[in-house]
């Protein structure tokens, strides 16, 4: 039933639209849009690609895929920070397939290679190749892997003729193939650097620079990395055009479910404090923990100590063999051991989704490094804990970190809860009695076991070297650390409810300050000691009161100068304020900080995401310093060119050769395989040549000489009959030449 028609709503030749039917259709279409939105179907892929995605079993894109794929499909350069296992492979495989299937990117004749994916290891490259073939199963695009350690002649055959559309390669072997075959890469539409931080960590920086120099400037570049070292930021600025930086906020912000605890301890008692923390933390509900140490010497020393303490552990650092590091991480992931001891360099890109506890044995020098460490726990909505051991030399770094996190230190006296219900951010000490007992155990192990004693001595020397290259805290933090009072109460997390009343009573006794001194307690009112102290109070009473107020206000930073400040102020001359006229133009704009904060570009984002990790032993740090020298013009340390201006690259075996060096293996392979192609494609006929093919005599002579050289080089081994036949032929030619010479002499 329709409602009554309103006056003036009728138009001649037109019917009144059915509003109810229209609303029904709109609601149905909205339901369809809602059902399909947010998935791969809404990203605009071709049907063969969507068919491959469905066959692979993907239904919904991951957060990094949802952010990266639309930007990559828009032909923009991308720098994406993604962990291992976050689905980053599909972030570049799907845009590659979509771009190569578009009509505007058809392959040119003899230039079929249009997409290049560079991976740091053979295993990752093979995994990526398998992924490309599964997703591109119905697209008709071809793909191949160019990897080190395999037959280079077989790879010559793959890349010659009709090369594949997509190549997954390791940088060393791919550059070797490019130089040997004089391969032109001017038809490449898209290039991907997978796990770029690992590429630079493994020393492929020179190969990458050389490969990028061979690529066309109109290419699209996608760069994926778990972290963003300084060298990688410089490479991205030079090799990418106005890139878009993509990083999930969870990577660089502490989750709300992460509990933080700060344990103040003397440096010589750190190992004992770590054992107490592990005893408290390792429970049936939280059976595993990761401990971060500064150097590889600390890692080896702590591994020996934990074995003696009966705590199963494994370790990893940068100098460890890759297979041994993989075995160690596999043991921890499969829950074969309770503690994983790592350095910052070894833990780069480490993915431990079910981790509950992180302990900082050595406090990190940078706030970003702290977030990088503790961000491994409390993932995907889980709760986690991060405990940090803080020494006297680490207090300034702790204050810098709290400024970065916009947090404050909480004293144990401000907290009523204890144990697991303790709030986050409390700063306390370890209970002294338990700490002393554990310290005695550590000293006994160092005395009785020679390997632990030697490891402890090496660890001490390594710590002295580490302090030299560790980044210093800010000057303001160093000033504040001198006046910041150290905690004296035990941390509530390490205290049971029964011991809380005892600790409170002891603290009250410690903080009690009597009004009188020892000279005034037992003396009489007319004694000389009592009268002397009374006269002293009349003179210095105000000074004593100001000193006590300073102690009370030290937490708030409200310090008063107990010296005669007024006399100092009188001695100073009042400086006149500088007055500028209306025509004065300042060096900087008045709103420069606001503009810098609102700027949206790669440089601003990369500077906030940049994280440079130093080595975990003195050898790697020395190697890094040897690559730097002081530039007097630019007033900063710059990288030294080890080749003295010559263009050199590092080979697969580790040696350095000129960038244009050719071993000649491709030419030899081509000559060996060329006669077969000639017989197959252009059969040679012995009949007379047409008139148009007759050439001058010298051209025929050159062709005969070149043919003989080619035959001689292709036939490396000959039988006895062929050798005799060749000798007779050469002897016959000599005899003919001699006969000609004799006839010429007779004519003269």
Q: At 285, give phi and psi (nearest 5°).
A: -80, -30
- 105 neighbors 216 (Cβ within 8 angstroms): no
With bands split at pLDDT 50, 70 and 90, how would you rate the model's confidence at 562? very low
Beta bridge mates, 410 = 426
Does 244 have pLDDT greater than 70? yes
pLDDT value at residue 109:
63
Residue 324: enclosing H or E segment and its boundaries? Answer: helix 322-333
Are the C-beta atoms of residues 429 and 488 closer than 8 Å to each other? yes
Task: Check: CB of residue 185 under 8 Å from CB of residue 214.
Answer: yes
Question: Residue 78: which H helix or E strand, with range?
Answer: strand 78-81
Question: 503, 490, 446: which is closest to 273 by C-alpha?
Answer: 490
Question: What Cα–Cα distance (Å) separates residue 211 from each residue in 191, 277, 520?
Answer: 10, 50, 86
Alpha-carbon distance of 298 to 555, in angstroms, equals 34
Reduce the DSSP state of residue 310 to 3 states and report it: coil
Whole-number Å distance between alpha carbons of 547 and 563: 10
How far from each other are the two terminal CA atoms of the chain, in whole angstroms? 128
How much is the pLDDT for 691?
Answer: 41
Name the one residue in this structure whose structure tokens are 């300084």: 230
Indicate the burial class of 442 (C-beta count within 10 angstroms; 0-12, 13-18, 19 or more). Answer: buried
Question: What pLDDT does 91 receive?
Answer: 92
What local confidence, expressed as pLDDT, does residue 583 receive? 74
What confidence tens digit (pLDDT) does each residue in 335-372 have? 899 999 998 766 655 656 678 899 999 998 888 788 87
Q: Which of 272, 204, 610 is nearest to 433 (CA)?
A: 272
Q: For residue 87, is it left (φ>0), alpha (ψ between -120 and 50) or beta?
A: left
From the list 493, 511, 491, 484, the residue with the least C-alpha distance to 432 is 491
* The pLDDT of residue 612: 57
Token pair listed for 125 = 């490259």
Which range has the top average pLDDT, 322-326, 617-621, 646-650? Answer: 322-326
Asked which of 227-231, 277-281, 606-610 is least confident by mean pLDDT, the reply is 606-610
**Sign of dihedral through CA atoms 463, 466, 467, 473?**
negative
DSSP string, 470-503: SPPPPHHHHHHHHHSPPP-SBPGGG--HHHHHHH
pLDDT of 379 reads 67
pLDDT digits (tens, 9 = 90+) for 481-491: 998 888 888 89
* pTM, rounded to two decimals: 0.60
Instruction: Pull the structure tokens for residue 100.
Output: 């190569």
Q: Which residues pair with 223 in a beta bridge?
A: 79, 193
* pLDDT over 50 (residue 699): yes
Per-residue pLDDT of 126-169, as tens digits, reads: 889 999 999 998 998 999 999 887 888 888 888 887 789 999 99
State the residue for tokens 């509950």.
356
- What domains does the chain contain, in order, with CATH numbers? 40-247 (3.40.50.300), 258-494 (3.40.50.300), 513-544 (no CATH)
Say what the pLDDT of residue 458 is: 92
Tell me the Cα Rg of the chain. Answer: 38
Q: How far, CA to CA in Å, does 481 sit from each of 395, 397, 398, 476?
A: 6, 9, 9, 9
Report d(CA 645, CA 643) in Å as an integer: 6
Q: pLDDT of 499-523, one tens digit each? A: 666 666 776 777 677 777 777 766 6
Tokens matching residue 531: 């009268």
């Amino acid at each position: 039933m329709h409602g009554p028609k309103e006056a003036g709503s009728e138009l001649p030749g037109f019917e009144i639209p059915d509003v109810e039917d229209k609303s029904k259709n709109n609601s149905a279409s909205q339901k369809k849009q809602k059902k399909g939105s947010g998935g791969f179907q809404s990203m605009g892929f071709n049907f063969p690609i969507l068919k491959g995605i469905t066959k692979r079993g993907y239904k919904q894109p991951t957060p990094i895929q949802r952010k990266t794929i639309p930007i990559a499909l828009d032909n923009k350069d991308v720098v994406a920070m993604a962990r291992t296992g976050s689905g980053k492979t599909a972030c570049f495989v799907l845009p590659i397939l979509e771009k190569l299937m578009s009509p505007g990117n058809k392959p040119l004749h003899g230039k079929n290679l249009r997409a290049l994916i560079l991976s740091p290891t053979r295993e990752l490259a093979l995994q990526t190749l398998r992924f490309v073939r599964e997703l591109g199963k119905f697209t008709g695009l071809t793909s191949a892997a160019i990897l080190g350690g395999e037959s280079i002649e077989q790879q010559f055959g793959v890349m010659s003729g009709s090369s594949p559309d997509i190549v997954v390669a390791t940088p060393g072997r791919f550059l070797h193939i490019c130089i040997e075959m004089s391969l032109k890469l001017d038809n490449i539409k898209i290039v991907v650097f997978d796990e770029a931080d690992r590429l630079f960590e493994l020393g492929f920086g020179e190969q990458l620079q050389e490969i990028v120099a061979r690529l066309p400037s109109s290419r699209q570049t996608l760069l994926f990395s778990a972290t963003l070292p300084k060298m990688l930021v410089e490479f991205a600025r030079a090799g990418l055009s106005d890139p878009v930086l993509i990083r999930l906020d969870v990577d660089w912000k502490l989750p709300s479910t992460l509990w933080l605890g700060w344990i103040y301890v003397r440096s010589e008692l750190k190992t004992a404090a770590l054992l107490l923390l592990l005893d408290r933390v390792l429970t049936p509900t939280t059976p595993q923990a990761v401990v971060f140490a500064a150097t590889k010497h600390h890692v080896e020393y702590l591994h020996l100590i934990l074995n003696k303490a009966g705590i199963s552990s494994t370790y990893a650092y940068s100098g460890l063999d890759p297979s041994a590091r993989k075995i160690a991480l596999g043991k921890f992931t499969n829950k074969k051991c309770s503690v994983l001891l790592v350095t910052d360099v070894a833990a780069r890109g480490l993915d431990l989704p079910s981790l509950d506890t992180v302990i900082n044995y050595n406090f990190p020098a940078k706030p970003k490094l702290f977030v990088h460490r503790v961000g491994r726990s409390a993932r995907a909505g889980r709760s986690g804990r991060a405990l940090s051991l803080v020494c006297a030399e680490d207090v300034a770094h702790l204050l810098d970190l709290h400024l970065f996190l916009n947090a404050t230190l909480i004293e144990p006296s401000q907290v009523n809860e204890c144990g697991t219900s303790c709030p986050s951010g409390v700063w306390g000490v370890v209970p002294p009695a338990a700490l002393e007992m554990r310290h005695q155990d550590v000293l006994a192990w160092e005395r009785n076991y020679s390997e632990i004693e030697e490891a402890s001595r090496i660890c001490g020397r390594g710590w002295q070297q580490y302090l030299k290259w560790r980044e210093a805290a800010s000057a303001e933090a160093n000033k504040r650390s001198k006046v910041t009072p150290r905690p004296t109460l035990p941390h509530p997390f390490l205290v049971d409810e029964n011991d809380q009343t005892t600790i409170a009573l002891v603290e009250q006794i410690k903080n009690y300050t009597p009004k009188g001194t020892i000279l005034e307690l037992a003396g009489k009112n007319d004694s000389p000691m009592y009268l002397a102290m009374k006269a002293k109070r009349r003179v210095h009473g105000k000074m004593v009161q100001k000193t006590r107020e300073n102690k009370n206000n030290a937490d708030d930073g409200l310090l008063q100068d107990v010296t005669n400040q007024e006399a100092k102020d009188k001695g100073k001359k009042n400086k006149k304020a500088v007055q500028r006229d209306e025509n004065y133009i300042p060096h900087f704009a008045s709103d420069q900080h606001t503009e810098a904060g609102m700027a949206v570009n790669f440089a601003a984002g990369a500077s906030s995401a940049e994280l440079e990790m130093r080595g975990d032993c003195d050898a790697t740090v020395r190697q890094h310093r040897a690559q730097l020298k002081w530039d007097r013009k630019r007033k900063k340390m710059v990288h030294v060119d080890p080749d003295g201006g010559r263009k050199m690259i590092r080979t697969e075996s580790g040696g350095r050769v000129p960038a244009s060096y050719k071993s000649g293996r491709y030419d030899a392979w081509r000559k060996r395989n060329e006669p077969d192609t000639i017989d197959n494609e252009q059969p040679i006929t012995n009949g007379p040549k047409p008139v148009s093919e007759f050439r001058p005599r010298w051209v025929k002579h050159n062709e005969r000489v070149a043919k003989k050289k080619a035959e001689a080089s292709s036939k490396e081994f000959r039988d006895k009959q062929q050798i005799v036949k060749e000798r007779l032929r050469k002897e016959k030619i000599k005899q003919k030449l001699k006969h000609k010479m004799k006839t010429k002499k007779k004519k003269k």
